[in-house]
Structure 1
Amino acid sequence: MAHGETGGAGPGPAVELRAVGRTYGRGAGEVVALRDLSVAFARGTFTAVMGPSGAGKSTFLHCAAGLDRPTSGTVRLGGTDLATLDEARLTMLRRERIGFVFQAYNLLNSLTVAENITLPLLLAGRTPDPARLAAVARRVGLADRLRHRPAQLSGGQQQRVAIARALITRPEVVFADEPTGALDSRTGRQVLGLLREVVERDGDTVVMVTHDPVAASYAQRVVFLADGAFAEAMDAPTPDRVAARMTRLEEW
């Protein structure tokens, strides 16, 4: 069992990193971003990934989501070893089997909400199912906003569009990178509650990188990184416990 593996439904973890290392540059300029990182995320779980600045959170996310290739070790999505895929197949995997939610929403202002949500399907050459679109829009509270454009929505509503876009393909895992970073605290809590809900009610898998102990407390489990390596994990996190652990890691 890998460090920080979470229990859950389904055969094997949704995502697993085994002895993953990632270095940038060479010689005197070499930077070690990840070192021998082993961690697994079970299906149907909500995990936050935290660590001090420079702990390797962004590099972890990029390697786990197939956006960057590790220098050593293996990354598996379900039963697929990402190292066996060429760039074209890796792009297809990201489009069809992974959902992404970013701090900056990354919506296209020229498209309606419905078009933004279904964009991953259109890019994959698939015809959107109106019933699926309606269900996902209802899920995120946007059923009456499908004809609007992003500029007509609040920040929280725009992030809900981004979450719906991440869910529309029924991905095996959703990676969220500081998803509430641009939102006020009340709106942020609503978005985090929605992410927790899609895990508990729909059995989705969410892995969220965050620096915010309050955001992390919405997850079922927190994995802490330090110096590019697995440091420890915490179940049933609270803001105070997470903040205390982060303080200790920063001192460490």
Structure 2
Amino acid sequence: MAKSGVLQYAVQLDSVTKKYRSGRNEVHALRGITAAFPTGSFTAVMGPSGSGKSTFLNCVAGLDHPTSGHILLGGTELSGRTEAQLTEFRRDRIGFVFQAYNLLSALTVEDNVTMPLRLADAPVDHQHLSFVLSAVGLAEHRTRRPNQLSGGQQQRVAIARALITRPDLVCADEPTGALDSRTGRQVLALLRQVVDEMGQTVLMVTHDPVAAAQADTVVFLADGQLAGELRAPTPEQVAERMTRLGEA
């Protein structure tokens, strides 16, 4: 079920800056970021604390407005859109996976997964729903509620919810941060699977070199600027690069 006729790049940033006030100081969270992420790729974003990782992800996902520059997601310019337009855009075209699962305890797995469609007053494609639930290993748990699931299973529900709208981009912010190492590896393998088998594009912020090594490419940020990248990374290469960035 990989997409056909898609654009070469799911996300493009052109000279993106982000400034904000902190007391009397002006903080430059992003400094002229220019980058492009291919459709159907898995990219990890890493950097020391305060490097701009969260601001970067928030701007790409339309959760925050860049001060200047341009961001295209799925070929659509995000700049200049109203909050209402951005809210609709995020709901329809971006999937989110956070450290916290953000599931509604009163709803079943199936109802949690289809929540974005119901909020958009859109019909549920039951064939696609079954496909997504099977892909994340939840086909037999669709009528269960979150408190009947393990932490790893709850994160799988969150990933299924992110996939149900066939988004242009899945944004994952520390998706294994609340999981033990074994369960975390399973969730990372699932993210790898949705890229390889479903043609999704995943952009993941993480501090974990082992998690980052699941990605095709690791992009490093430092002081709000791009500070290099690694393709086909190993955990050791990622850790060594992070050590150098921390020393710098």
TM-score by length of 1: 0.94
Tell me if 1:121 matches 2:94: no
Letter in structure 2 aligned against 1:189:
R
2:45 corresponds in structure 1 to 49
CA–CA distance in structure 1, aligned partners of residues 144 and 108 of structure 2:
5
Match of 1:243 in 2: 239
User: After TM superposition, what 4+ stretches of structure 1 lie above 4 angstroms from structure 2?
Assistant: none
Residue 159 (structure 1) aligned with residue 155 (structure 2): yes
Corresponding residue for 1:38? Answer: 34
The farther-off stretch of 25-34 and 120-129 is 25-34
Letter in 2 for 1:60: F
Which of the residues 141, 145, 164 maps onto 1:168? Answer: 164
User: Using the alignment, how far apart are the partners of 1:213 and 1:134 within structure 2?
Assistant: 33
Counterparts of 1:205 and 1:131, CA distance in 2: 21
Unaligned runs of 5+ in 1: 1-8
Cα deviation per residue 1:159-204 (whole Å; 9 max; x = unaligned)?
0000000000000110000000000000000000000011011111
Q: Partner residue of 1:130? A: 126
CA distance in 2, matches of 1:248, 1:57: 17
Cα distance, 1:27 vs structure 2: 7.8
The answer to whether structure 1 residue 199 and structure 2 residue 188 are counterparts is no
Matched residue of 2:13: which SS? strand
2:195 maps to a residue whose letter is: V
Contact 1:12 1:78 in 2 (8 A): no
| Residue 85 of structure 1: how far off its partner (Å) | 1.8
Identity of aligned residues (%): 64
> What's the counterpart of residue 228 of structure 1?
224
| Alignment correspondent of 1:210 | 206
2:160 aligned with 1:141, yes or no? no
In 2, Cα distance between the equivalents of 1:185 and 1:11? 35
* Distance in structure 2 (CA, Å) of the matches to 1:246 and 1:226: 10
SS in 2 for 1:106: coil
State the shift of 1:11 in Å: 3.0
Aligned length: 244
**Partners of 2:51 and 2:224 within 8 A in 1:** yes
Matched residue type, 1:46 = F
| Post-superposition offset of 1:118 | 0.2
Gaps (5+ residues) in structure 2?
A: none
**Does the 8 Å contact 2:30/2:224 carry over to 1?**
yes
1:183 to 165, 173, 179: 179
Q: Cα deviation per residue 1:55-102 (whole Å; 9 max; x = unaligned)? A: 000000100000000011111112111013222111111001100000
Under a length normalisation based on structure 2, what TM-score does the superposition of the two structures give? Answer: 0.96
Shift of 1:125: 0.5
